[in-house]
Structure 1
Amino acid sequence: MKAFTIKSGIVGSLFFLTMGTSCNVEPTFYSQVVPETFYSSQEAVWERFNRPFTHWRWWIAQDRARWELQELGTDEFCVPTRGSDWYDGAVYQKFHHHEYTEDMTSIANGWTNFSMGIALSWDALEDLQKIDFESLGFEPGTKESMLSQMNTLVASFYLDGLDFFGGVPLYTTTQSEVLPRSTDVETFNFIDSLLTESLPELPVKTELGAMETNTVHQAVAAALKAKLYFNAEAYIGKPMYEEAAQICQDIIDGKYGNYALATDWTDIFGFRNETCPEIIWTLPSENAKLETDGCYWKPSMPYNYKGFLGGLKDSDADNGSCLIPSRDPKGNLYHFNLSNNYEGYDDKDVRKQQYVYEEGGKYRGMFVVGKLVNPDHPDWVCVGARDYIGQPLVIRDQIACFTKVGKEYASVDELPSTIATGEEDSGVRLMKRSPRPNADEYKEMYNPDIPVIRLSEIYYTLAECKMRAGDKQGAADLINAVRKRNFADGVDPDPVTAANLDKYRMLKEWKLEFLGEGRRRTDLVRWGAYVTEDWWDHKATNNQYLNRFPIHYSIIGANNLLEQNPGYGGK
């Protein structure tokens, strides 16, 4: 099988995309359709350049696969079976208990979607290389910048592949034979080389708070390189924390552009966040243009949650995923090495409030929790649709079938709390990426961009590197520089100190700052905690092979050169 068959389905989609976005609906015919003739304007070249980014946008913030692989199966999120809803062949129970099998759709999509991004990127790069940028009037350096941005995008896709599966086939062209998997080290080194080669040719963000698009700046490549080194011990068995720390320090010092921590957490995720100085790489979103809900809003929110927002249209939800509960059915806090989610936040943390949209793009809180009667508009109510039909829904930080008390169970004391025993009010929901407005400001919906890399990640990465090197006070200072914005007047009731900073406090801080942002599994694996720790009704397996996912049987069936990951059996 030739690699041109890998891209054969891509070229057709590019044609239809171009036809669909062109202003002129009359077709133009060419005797030979090649880059030199087809891409005859700057607009056409930019469309060609942007096509792989549309897939990247879908992979990061629309399709659920990447988010599910990073968040389900961790101590952050689950999808409980809610009566007759969300059983789905026990797939979410399998995620929760790390019972990964070679037929799980999200795992198949995880492989297909990162590799499709690579194919699309190489396809675009090969076309861009053949275009005469000078004759089309582009500024000098535009071609080099585009090619370097494409290489960096490829590196980001390969980094996801390495993170989820280990070594993967390393394609550098769409004109190659199909390939077997490369080793973990070869994959690591290839990603590193792409970033090293591309970084000098990328644009630099010089204006603090300048509008972010999906432009790949130098700081993006530097941050990806830091992430690669930061997790090198998990990826290739070689600690590279010192190298990661140096890159992070350079980013903070402004070597790769102008960035600064936001002073208000809602500036990072809110309705005007395209100018937030903290964001290094963002996924653009805008009402009626490039809409995205961050991939988890609809599957997470209660069925009738739009009622809480005054009947906001296009806001139907499926009542699926939620946070791992902090409390048992009797209301007692769980006590595990890994911190609780909702109750892990200090009561004085401004984020630990019920989400309420105010007006003009302003909102407060990031949790859907408690009685869902809008406090600013008491006639706006989210009512139950299953277990509590017609009643104001009360979202609990617990997972259990409370409606069965007095029926199947004599008291709350007898209620089981497992991934299989939820009901519609079970579990706190997160309103973080892509918050929703009220109905009277519908045009604000989808206006929040989706942050992909932000400066606080660099601060925390450097902090952990310092901690591992023995500089706990330096690590604490970096974390506290971020934490203070979440408390009134910057007064933190529980700051990180050299005395209280250990493995579990570090993992707690990663959770508090990055809850739901699609990185938890990576953090747990790096600390050796993904398969060795208990949380809620998940029990440690200590099976190290589970740190990587299996390759779906359909992927191996399409390329018989691929070897299955150890522990899952078969070729």
Structure 2
Amino acid sequence: MKRNKLNYIAAVALFLVAGASCSIDPTYYSEVVPDTFYASQENVWQRFNRPFTHWRWYLAHDAPRWNMQEFGTDEFCLPTRGSDWYNGGVFQKFHHHEYTEDMTEIETGWTNFGMGVALAWDALEDLEKIDFDALGFKEGVRESMLNQQKALVASFYIDGLDFFGGVPLYTTTQTEAKGRATAEETFNFIDSLLTEAIPNLPLKEELGGFEKGSINRAAGAALKARLYFNAKSYIGKEMFSEAAVICQDILDGKYGRYALDTDWTNIFGFDNETSPEIIWSVPSQNAKLETDGMLWANMVPYNFKNYLGGLKDSGSNNGCCLIPSRDPEGNLYKFNLGNPYESFNDKDVRKQLYVYEGNGKYRGMFIVGELRNPLNPDWVCTGDREYKDQVIVERDQIAYFAKVGKEYASVKDLPSTIATAEESSGVRVTKRSPRPNQDEFKRMFDPDVPIIRIAEIYYMLAECKMRAGDKQAAADLINTVRRRYFADGVDPDPVTAANLDKYRMLKEWMVEFLGEGRRRTDLIRWDAYVTENWWDHQATNNPNLNLFPIHYTIIGANNLIEQNPGYGGKK
């Protein structure tokens, strides 16, 4: 007889948090057991893939995880737009780092990484009991499956460490509830999982070989490099030299064959499963494995589907946008950080209005300016609030321009804050999960969502070399990536040993990885998350805010869980 172990984990490990009114009693089954269910290779693959289903949703579809990494930084915000998007002030709290133990988005950040851990260990325990030889599997498949589950656990735990510090550590679903391990214990546990898994992960030997979401050896190595790269933030120990060794090995092909893509749209586009740059990606296919890595509904303006010829099933809530680069009068902000749209050089091919050209081809990464489709001028995005039925003009500014002459005498009197936006405020991004026009609507969910790509390895190695004092080598690595964005590879503003400092490095991370759900981590690594000002954000200089609070329901359900310092009265 097999218990429903996931319910059991919810009861004792509190990774899957249940409300006080919900039953957490385990459910028992007598009909489906491993000996009867896993009677074919297909059944085994289904069992193997279940944790990856959660991972796919968590990494490429789950708004709270992306919000925790992007809101509260100098990249993105979700401003209050008139009467829209106040939402109890939660997004203003993110922006001002006013984190509290009752924020549901942060609760989800805990429960979702924890559910991933639970699902992966549960799958591993079942897979360990299967006779792979009797089912005709090729040699090495069992080891690959088991170690991919271990690497998947490590990836979820990295998120837990990044967001909250030390977390409860489990190696089985059959255990009692635990309190939090220290950050160092969590770090070492993740490290040990990856050390064990990496040699047994599949090796990608074909450059541009088809990516289907499995964890190849390079993905495991990249996760380990990420862990070491951020060790100073996580455990107060610099491990940049150790990260650099792994990065160099990845670039040298020790962990498989990868290369920079010459066209950035190939990395994020409609046939990107064969991009040589992608190390690990979330698979997507229309009507099968639909992913939405750019959180479309919350990102694009109302009625943007009409700019795409009335693209069906593409509604919008008109929410988040880039932090503005300019004040209401059009002046560029002078902060050391922020100004994301204006951080792109005007000659950068990405810095233009998104246009789907047909047959899977598109150009531009931004929704900005007048939203009239240049290939079909009848396709326009009109307003739905202040500019109802007018063609929207998206501004790299946040202010309530519609109130000029009514509540404000002139533009110079307009406030520009997280609380004073209108429907056309802020540049939007269509980087991950771009969408086609209506005449090719069946391609809507064809783009996979890159999670790790070789460009990140270049940038990690560059920063490691910069920190080691070799700025020229760092600049060369970054410029190797940058040149693909300019005609004939001529970069008008390359990185040099002379201009590479903390702020240029952070700017380069922003420009290359804008919207990919990592900005908070990069700012913390440079001690900039709580110490720097940017648009409508004043530094708190409170290092406790580098970690999120543990939601009160987590602590209420397991009294072994202790709150992070600085929250809940603990200083």
Q: What is the TM-score when the length of structure 1 is the normalising length?
A: 0.95
Whichever residue aligns with residue 513 of structure 1, its letter is: E
Aligned residue in 1 for 2:523: 524
Aligned residue in 2 for 1:284: 283
CA RMSD, 1 decimal: 1.4
- Alpha-carbon distance in 2 for matches of 1:207, 1:500: 38
Give 1:37 deviation, angstroms. 2.1
Could you say if the C-alpha distance between residues 419 and 8 of structure 1 is closer, same or farther in structure 2, counting changes exceeding 3 Å? closer
Q: Which runs of 5+ in 2 are unaligned?
A: 13-28
- Alpha-carbon distance in 2 for matches of 1:569, 1:110: 18
Give 1:444 deviation, angstroms. 1.1
Aligned residue in 2 for 1:545: 544
Q: Secondary structure of 2:51's partner?
A: helix
* Residues 388-411 of structure 1, C-alpha deviations (whole Å, 9 max, x = no match): 000000000000000100000000
- Alpha-carbon distance in 1 for matches of 2:50, 2:266: 29
Aligned residue in 1 for 2:482: 483
Give 1:32 deviation, angstroms. 5.2
Aligned residue in 2 for 1:14: none
- Alpha-carbon distance in 2 for matches of 1:8, 1:463: 42
Q: Secondary structure of 1:529's partner?
A: coil
Q: Which runs of 4+ in 1 moved over 2 A?
A: 2-10, 30-34
Aligned residue in 1 for 2:23: none
Could you say if the C-alpha distance between residues 497 and 8 of structure 1 is closer, same or farther in structure 2, counting changes exceeding 3 Å? closer
* Residues 22-75 of structure 1, C-alpha deviations (whole Å, 9 max, x = no match): xxxxxxxx9653212221110010000000000001110111111000000000
Could you say if the C-alpha distance between residues 383 and 400 of structure 1 is closer, same or farther in structure 2, counting changes exceeding 3 Å? same
Aligned residue in 2 for 1:58: 57
Aligned residue in 2 for 1:132: 131
Q: Secondary structure of 1:451's partner?
A: strand
Could you say if the C-alpha distance between residues 233 and 375 of structure 1 is closer, same or farther in structure 2, counting changes exceeding 3 Å? same
What does residue range 98-247 of structure 1 map to in structure 2 within 5 Å? 98-247=97-246
- Alpha-carbon distance in 1 for matches of 2:422, 2:120: 43
Aligned residue in 2 for 1:379: 378
Q: Secondary structure of 2:358's partner?
A: coil
Aligned residue in 2 for 1:473: 472
Q: Which runs of 5+ in 1 are unaligned?
A: 11-29
Aligned residue in 2 for 1:19: none
What percent identity do the matched residue pairs reach? 73
Aligned residue in 2 for 1:451: 450
- Alpha-carbon distance in 2 for matches of 1:216, 1:54: 13
- Alpha-carbon distance in 2 for matches of 1:552, 1:3: 24
What does residue range 397-416 of structure 1 map to in structure 2 within 5 Å? 397-416=396-415
Q: Secondary structure of 1:363's partner?
A: strand
What does residue range 341-360 of structure 1 map to in structure 2 within 5 Å? 341-360=340-359
- Alpha-carbon distance in 1 for matches of 2:402, 2:336: 31
CA contact (8 A) 2:101 2:568 kept: no
Q: Secondary structure of 2:280's partner?
A: strand
Give 1:295 deviation, angstroms. 4.9
Could you say if the C-alpha distance between residues 63 and 6 of structure 1 is closer, same or farther in structure 2, counting changes exceeding 3 Å? farther
Aligned residue in 1 for 2:362: 363
- Alpha-carbon distance in 1 for matches of 2:338, 2:370: 25
Q: Secondary structure of 1:290's partner?
A: coil
- Alpha-carbon distance in 1 for matches of 2:202, 2:104: 38
Give 1:5 deviation, angstroms. 4.4
Aligned residue in 2 for 1:41: 40
**How many correspondences in the alignment?**
551
CA contact (8 A) 1:230 1:244 kept: yes
CA contact (8 A) 1:148 1:198 kept: yes
Q: Secondary structure of 1:243's partner?
A: helix
Aligned residue in 2 for 1:80: 79
Whichever residue aligns with residue 356 of structure 1, its letter is: V
- Alpha-carbon distance in 2 for matches of 1:499, 1:5: 57
Q: What is the TM-score when the length of structure 2 is the normalising length?
A: 0.95
Q: Secondary structure of 1:358's partner?
A: strand
- Alpha-carbon distance in 2 for matches of 1:168, 1:50: 25
CA contact (8 A) 1:3 1:177 kept: no
Give 1:292 deviation, angstroms. 1.1
- Alpha-carbon distance in 2 for matches of 1:463, 1:118: 32
CA contact (8 A) 1:3 1:178 kept: no
**1:301 matches 2:303:** no
Could you say if the C-alpha distance between residues 549 and 102 of structure 1 is closer, same or farther in structure 2, counting changes exceeding 3 Å? same
CA contact (8 A) 1:3 1:176 kept: no
From 6, 9, 14, the equivalent of 1:7 is 9
Aligned residue in 1 for 2:21: none
CA contact (8 A) 1:219 1:256 kept: yes
Give 1:9 deviation, angstroms. 8.8
Q: Secondary structure of 2:53's partner?
A: helix
- Alpha-carbon distance in 1 for matches of 2:5, 2:555: 16
Whichever residue aligns with residue 470 of structure 1, its letter is: G
Could you say if the C-alpha distance between residues 31 and 65 of structure 1 is closer, same or farther in structure 2, counting changes exceeding 3 Å? closer
- Alpha-carbon distance in 2 for matches of 1:56, 1:478: 31
CA contact (8 A) 1:285 1:292 kept: yes
* Residues 200-238 of structure 1, C-alpha deviations (whole Å, 9 max, x = no match): 111100000011011110001100000000000000000
- Alpha-carbon distance in 2 for matches of 1:31, 1:162: 38
